[in-house]
Amino acid sequence: MTDTVNDTVTGRLRHALTDVFALAYLGLCAALLIWALAVTLTDDSGESMAGVIPLLATAPAGMVLFWLPDHLSMLVLSVALGALVNATVIGWCARTLRR
């Protein structure tokens, strides 16, 4: 009976996203995003390219949403969703390789 609970989509996502490697990747992406936002907001010239680093860290999934309208929230959204997708794949691969 407990096997059916773990075989649901939410159970699989929970297992994939709570893996050590997935959590480390999410932490790295969060740190890069916070750094990029701090550098961009304190730059007076408006020519900061710091947003490229977290976007490249979440490629290829983060690149899909980057083409949305030009606003700082779109960068945050694309990095967050890209990091979640990539962390799910990382967690799934780590779990599969442990079997």
How do residues 56-84 score in pLDDT, each as one tens digit? 999 988 887 767 667 788 888 889 999 99
Show the CA angle centred on residue 40, arms to residues 33 and 74, nearest 5°. 60
Q: Where residue 4 falls among pLDDT bands split at 50, 70, 90?
A: low
On the question of pLDDT at 8 being above 70, the answer is yes
Q: Is the pTM of this model over 0.75?
A: yes
User: Distance between CA 64 and CA 67 in Å, rounded?
Assistant: 7
How do residues 37-47 score in pLDDT, each as one tens digit? 999 888 888 77
> 22 with 90: CB under 8 angstroms?
yes
User: Distance between CA 64 and CA 74 in Å, rounded?
Assistant: 11
With tokens 């990095």, the residue in question is 79
